[in-house]
Amino acid sequence: MSSSFIVGLGSHHGDDQAGWLVMDRLQQRNFPPQQMTRLRHPIDLLDVIDTEMSLVICDACYGSGNPGRIHQGVWSAENSPDQILGPRRDESGLSLIPQVHSGSHTLPLIEVLMLGRQLGCGPSFAKIWTIEGGMWAPGTSPSTAIQAAAAVVAEAIWEQTFHA
Amino acid sequence: MSVEDLITVPILTRVEGEGGVTIRLREGVIDKIELNIYEPPRLFEALLRGRPLEDTPDITARICGICPVAYQMSSVQALEAALGIQVTPNIRRLRRLLYCGEWIESHALHIHLLHAPDFFGVASGILLAQRFPDEIKRGLQLKKSGNRLLEVLGGRAIHPVNVRVGGFHRLPQREEMAALIPQFEQGVEAAVAATRWVAGFPFPDFEQDYELVSLSHPAEYPMNEGEIVSSRGLRIPVSEYHQNFVEFQVAHSTAHQAVRHRLGTPYFLGPLARVSLNRERLSPTARRLADEIDLPGLLKNPFMSIVARGLELVHAFEEGLSILREYDPTGKAAIHYQPHEGYGCGATEAPRGLLFHEYRIDGQGKIVSGNIVPPTSQNQRRIELDLMEFLTIRQKIGASRQDLALDCERLVRTYDPCISCSTHFLKVRWDESL
């Protein structure tokens, strides 16, 4: 078993709960609680990451497909700031993960990862799962497409963590 | 025929809601500046109608990701006023402690990663961290202490859930609170160092004759309670808010703006106003520091908001430390009450200024109506006038269009508004129209 640390980013606003839903699913499967956390703001990653960590981040995204579409990619400190390279789940070849949805009053995810690296407190590499959202109204429930996608992502993380 | 020319900042990115700025030039001279904000407070107010009053603190907390405590505090103040609830001194102190946590989180982030880069001509906190790694690390450590406090007292770091009408759902154990003391002791020193650092920044030479407005309390630095006062002599109870301030709509923004009632003049909320109007009630260390850095009595330069935030950071750590040291978990967690029909209003000091709430409830304890006036919408008109003054000065000394767009962003950020407090990559589009 690898010692991945899983972070679910999200808010209470509709499909922005995608990252938290993945955490819910992992929790239901008794994923070790000390290896996972939910966060509201990407900046709060700096409170939980370290240089040696095998970091996996789950978040909502928008602008590159229908709600529920899953993207998987890798952030590396060596990439250009705006790029996360990785195969889309339903396509072959390399493509860019769309902009990760960021909450209010904070820095976006990639900027936080870069800052962590810059300050010598974050990993040089992170796996990133994003789920395409379509509805962000305050206080609303996530769509069924997002819930289904979150279950798929949780299953994939479980498999990669315990059976890779 | 006069020629209209536009400098357009179409979208301020990575913010809650959407905003932009349009600078209209006529015959090459700045003629008008419009700040557009798109925020959904009305949606929340409508969402509350018909719901149990107990839902209000948690629902309104979700209006803002960085200052949920402010929304919880203003909502419980207003609802407790409607119900005639008087909380115990212990609950009152713990609410101040919770607010200290939020101010620490918000101010530490804004000072170090969102505002400081503007003074060094860099586009982001990452670039600033290359030049000032120790200062940025210190800022993140300060923020972390705020997070930890919210986790312990608020129930969780994401969105605190421990606040309820009448008090708290549960009081933390003594050991949990005691464990925070060492980091708050270090926090006071670190916040002092951070404030000394920002006090040395090169501030643009720009002063305005503001009407500064904040809460004021005879015995303490304003957070949860007090009268509303201003630098022009206003002193009123919160219940007279509507007799003195009025919201109105403008065509270019979906957010309300606000001015002084009858006078029609804008006013300025936030740390600059709070420090100016309540300097003698800052904590001892913060007060000494204000003297040491020769802070003017009445702050008129909006760019110096970063120093005011630093002083409030010191205050929040020092007051927080005092409350933590005296913490007694043996009292009541909450005052019990019977719902009844009523109306109440309340105002508290969110990190970025006075936040007013009012509610009417029915005999079953359901919300009949609610009204929320956030600080950003109240500052909006003042921001537009500042932009007009500042950019006109800058244009007269030959600032380029690109510089004007950057100046625009920098000035808006001094207010730490919801629309731009995370924005460092402003996309500027130039439009020419005849």
* Each residue's pLDDT tens digit, B157-185: 667 889 999 999 999 999 999 999 999 99
- The partner residue sitting opposite A41, judged by closest CB among B65, B130, B137, is B65
Do B14 and B118 reside in the same domain of the chain? no
Number of domains forming the structure of chain B: 2
Query: How confident is residue A87, by pLDDT bands cut at 50, 70 and 90?
Result: very low
Sign of CA dihedral A144, A149, A154, A159: positive
* Chain B contact set for A137 (CB, 8 A): 43
Amino acid A99: pLDDT? 44
Whichever domain contains B129, its CATH number is 1.10.645.10
* Chain A contact set for B68 (CB, 8 A): none
Domain that holds residue A75: 4-162
Output B114 or A2, whichever has higher pLDDT.
B114
Residue type, B418: C
Rounded to the nearest angstrom, the minimum Cα separation between B303 and chain A is: 19
- The answer to whether B363 and B53 have CB atoms below 8 angstroms apart is no
Do B310 and B397 reside in the same domain of the chain? no
Token pair belonging to A17: 């709960």
Amino acid A113: pLDDT? 92
Q: Give the separation between CA B43 and CA B208, rounded to whole angstroms.
A: 35
Whichever domain contains A19, its CATH number is 3.40.50.1450
Report, as an integer, the average pLDDT of A118-147. Answer: 89
Do B389 and B300 reside in the same domain of the chain? no
Query: How confident is residue B43, by pLDDT bands cut at 50, 70 and 90?
Result: low
Whether pLDDT at A76 is above 60? yes
Q: According to the per-residue pLDDT averaged within each range, which of B11-20, B79-88, B405-414 is highest?
A: B79-88
Number of domains forming the structure of chain A: 1
pLDDT digits over B372-405, tens only? Answer: 888 988 998 999 999 999 999 999 999 988 888 8
Q: How high is the mean pLDDT of chain A? A: 82
Checking DSSP bridges between strand A125-132 and strand B163-164, what pairing results, if any?
unpaired
Whether pLDDT at B358 is above 50? yes
Q: How many CA atoms lie within 13 A of A50 on its CB side?
A: 6
Do B422 and B304 reside in the same domain of the chain? no
Chain Cα centroid distance, residue A74: 10
- Indicate the helix (H) or strand (E) that contains B121: none
Query: How confident is residue B133, by pLDDT bands cut at 50, 70 and 90?
Result: very high
Chain Cα centroid distance, residue B403: 27
Amino acid A100: pLDDT? 43
Q: Give the separation between CA B343 and CA B367, rounded to whole angstroms.
A: 10
Do B300 and B396 reside in the same domain of the chain? no
Do B289 and B426 reside in the same domain of the chain? no
Do B94 and B64 reside in the same domain of the chain? yes
Do B75 and B22 reside in the same domain of the chain? no
Amino acid B226: pLDDT? 97
Q: B73: closest CA among A10, A138, B63?
A: B63
* Chain A contact set for B126 (CB, 8 A): 111, 114-115, 118
Whether pLDDT at B257 is above 50? yes
Amino acid B409: pLDDT? 83
Q: Give the separation between CA A82 and CA A100, rounded to whole angstroms.
A: 10
Q: Phi first, then psi: what are they for A131, rounded to 5°? A: -120, 125
Q: Is the ipTM of this complex over 0.90?
A: no
- The partner residue sitting opposite B44, judged by closest CB among A39, A119, A138, is A138
Do B129 and B159 reside in the same domain of the chain? yes
Do B229 and B247 reside in the same domain of the chain? yes
Q: Give the separation between CA B331 and CA B338, rounded to whole angstroms.
A: 20
Do B290 and B271 reside in the same domain of the chain? yes
Q: Give the separation between CA B42 and CA B39, rounded to whole angstroms.
A: 8
Domain that holds residue B264: 41-379
Q: Give the separation between CA B382 and CA B176, rounded to whole angstroms.
A: 43
Amino acid B53: pLDDT? 97
Amino acid B418: pLDDT? 66
Report, as an integer, the average pLDDT of B254-268. Answer: 91
Dihedral class, residue B270 (left if φ above 0, else alpha if ψ from -120 to 50, else beta) = left
Rounded to the nearest angstrom, the minimum Cα separation between B102 and chain A is: 13
Do B25 and B126 reside in the same domain of the chain? no
Instruction: Say yes or no for a CB contact (<8 Å) between B62 and A41.
Output: no
Instruction: Say yes or no for a CB contact (<8 Å) between A105 and B62.
Output: no
